[in-house]
Each structure stands twice: as structure tokens, then as C-alpha cells.
Structure 1
Amino acid sequence: MTERIVVVGAALFDGGRLLAARRSAPPELAGRWELPGGKVEEGETPEVALARELREELGVAAEVVERVPGEWPLKPPYVLQVWSARLPPGSAAPRPLQDHDELRWLTPGEIWHVDWLDQDVPAVRETLTRVPGAR
């Protein structure tokens, strides 16, 4: 049996809005939206991996807060786990540095205005239960 590989995603919140990132690569994913993040490397905890990925992909030092319950299958052997995160006061605005060409802060009413990657949809639904003011 192949060991599973964890991919971490960030439910990055700011003022009740959720950050969505539009993929620029690979070609089969380009133009679709996802929660930013990436693979957990050997020797990393998921929380450390997520903080690293947000630095690399968005240029931000986000605070990882708590795991969103659930785990969602991606292309085998990958699985997606999501953590809520926030930007410390006075942080620079996130910007697309790697693998993305656009970022959007979405209010709960705008969440479904973007074309999410199919595998991110269940995770996004679960994160909506954690958006401040979205209940």
C-alpha cells in the first residue's frame, strides 16, 4: 500500500473574508481557484509546512490557528487537510509569487463566484462554517 502524502491548505481569513488563489500551473489546473498551500515535506508538521508554503507562495508570515475537521482525497496518494490561518496586524498584503496569478478576498456571499478546483469544494464548504460572521 502506498503511503499517503498530505497537502495542506489555508483557510486564510481577514475581516470575515476568505482568500482564494487562482492556479497558473500546471496547465490542467490553470484558471481554477484553490485554498493556497502545498505538500508537507519530510520532517515537517502540517502547521510548519503551511506557514512555509504561505511564505513561498504569497510572501506572508501567517499564523496557523487550528485544523478544520476533515480530510479530502486528491489524486492518489495525496490527501488535503485544511487549517484556518490569519495575518498578524500590520502584515503585508498577500501577493501571488508561485503557482498562482491572482488572489481574491471573498466574502461568504462571494465564495461560489469563483471556479474552485473540484477537490477543494468540500474543504471550502467546511471552512465556511468557520468564517467569522458567516453563520
Structure 2
Amino acid sequence: MPTASSPSDPVVVVAAALYDDGGRLLAARRSAPPDLAGRWELPGGKVEPGESPEHALARELREELGIAAVPVDRVPGEWPLKPGYVLQVWRSRVLSGTPRPLQDHDELRWLTPDEIWSVDWLDQDVPAVKEVLGRETS
């Protein structure tokens, strides 16, 4: 259910921890904006006014990756991004489609737990990825 927000509330950015059947995590390499290009992130985007985080995540994954996905559960915590923005991460499941980079990304990689740190994650995604990994191994 959407909640009302005040002008001082941070903009919520939602991201998906998407896993395949082999337990690999999906990472997306940014192609834009220029200051983020070439760095890796968990895919997702901004929650629009009046939109629930779960709905926003499903919409963003459809727009950015061309898949139908559903959030399964929220990873505990929130991580600050740039001023006025906060990141929330959801474990999510692909319902249909094969992820492909459609917007803001030029490459996707399914990473095994041993490969997670083989990509140059955006600084703000590092603590979220660590939390996701901690949940998967507990």
C-alpha cells in the first residue's frame, strides 16, 4: 500500500537481489550517467510518488531488464545514496523473461558467491551487497 511522504522524506531507490537457479546474483554495469558508467550495481530504480516500493521494483525491472519479477522479501537495512536518496534492497524472483540490458546498463553478469567481488561495485551498493551475501549464507 502506498504511503504518503513529506517533502523532507528521502527518495527511496529500490534494488533487486535477483538469483538464478544456480544461486548466482545478477549484477548490472552502468552505462549512464558518465560518473557512474562502468561500475556495477544491483538493478532497480526510484519509487515514484504514490507507488509502493514493491510495485516500483517490479516496474523498474520490467523497464530496465525486460523481465517480470516479484519481490520476495526485503533485505534489512537502508543505505544512503546521494543526499536525499536512500537505497532499499529486496530479494526478488524472476517470473518470466531473460534479463537483458535495456536502459542505463550495457552488461549484465550472473555472479557466483566466489565471483561477487570480481566486479567494481558502486560504493553505495557495497554495504547492501554485503548484507545480501550475509543473508544468503546464514
TM-score, normalised with respect to structure 1: 0.93
| Secondary structure of the structure 1 residue equivalent to 2:101 | coil
% identical aligned pairs: 77
Q: How many residues align?
A: 131
Structure 1 gaps of 5+ residues are none
Structural mapping, 1:3-42, within 5 Å: 3-14=9-20, 15-42=22-49
Q: Does 1:86 align with 2:93?
A: yes
Q: Does 1:54 align with 2:61?
A: yes
**Structure 2 residue identity aligned to 1:127:** V
Distance in 1 (CA, whole Å) between partners of 2:114 and 2:129 is 13
TM-score, normalised with respect to structure 2: 0.91
Q: Which residue of structure 1 lines up, in the alignment, with residue 124 of structure 2?
A: 119
**Structure 1 residue identity aligned to 2:83:** P
Instruction: Provide, for residues 7-60 of structure 1, a one-character-per-residue CA deviation record: whole Å limited to 9, x for no partner.
Output: 001001112110000000000000000000000001110000000000000000
Distance in 1 (CA, whole Å) between partners of 2:52 and 2:24 is 26
After the TM superposition, which parts of structure 1 deviate over 6 Å for at least 4 consecutive aligned residues? Answer: none
**Structure 1 residue identity aligned to 2:108:** L
Q: CA RMSD in A?
A: 1.2
Structure 2 gaps of 5+ residues are 1-6
